[in-house]
Amino acid sequence: MTSPAQFKALNIAVLTVSDSRTEADDKSGNTLKTALLEAGHHCIDKAIVKDDIYQIRSQLSQWIANPEVDAVLSTGGTGVTGRDGTPEAVSPLLDKEIEGFGEMFRVLSYNDIKTSTLQSRALAGVANATYIFVMPGSPGACKTAWTSLISEQLDNRTRPCNLVMLMPRLKEQ
């Protein structure tokens, strides 16, 4: 549910984690970029990095340190194979984890992919007042996460509450 308040556009970065994707064939990253732009937000940056925990952390750390970046949408590297390391890369950077994101994502994904959703290690959290959402690498998973969870929580008009209304308080001690 949304209220009649004025929409507040956020600055959002998009990260694709993949050993094979390029800008020309980055369907998941482009799905997220298109969705956030259509919602009225700004895509402040977009990057593709290899599925390597240090490359992932390096890119995320730059965005987390940048006060202009409000949120990061990351896609890829959330499975259980040896090369899937996004959760391991992101978790140590988080000040707080938002456990409900991964839980809700898997519930919603069950409708589309049934028990295969247990292989998803989607997660979200806050690092230096920057929201980070980590999603699987398929365009369908990104669409599900954006339309069913993230878009409303990054819309300051969503009631009874949303993540945007908490932004001024994220750095409280």
CATH code at position 152: 3.40.980.10
* Residue 124 within any structural domain of the chain: yes
Whether residue 2 lies inside any domain: the answer is no
Q: What is the pLDDT of residue 103?
A: 96
- 125 is a domain residue: yes
> So what's the pLDDT on residue 173?
76
Residue 4 lies in a domain: no
| Domain annotation covers residue 15 | yes
C-alpha 127/C-alpha 118 separation (Å) is 26
- Give the 3-state secondary structure of residue 138: coil
pLDDT in tens, 121-164: 999 999 999 999 999 999 999 999 999 999 999 999 999 999 99
Residue 1 is assigned to a structural domain of this protein:
no
The C-alpha atoms of residue 6 and residue 87 are separated, in whole angstroms, by 34
pLDDT of 2 reads 56
Instruction: Supply the mean pLDDT for the chain.
Output: 95
User: Is 67 part of any domain?
Assistant: yes
**Per the structure, how many domains does the chain have?**
1
Q: What is the pLDDT of residue 4?
A: 72
Whether residue 3 is predicted with pLDDT greater than 80 in this model: the reply is no
Contact present, 21 and 49 (Cβ < 8 Å): no
Span 56-70, pLDDT tens digits: 999 999 999 999 999
- Domain holding 131, by residue range, is 11-167
In a domain, 3, yes or no: no
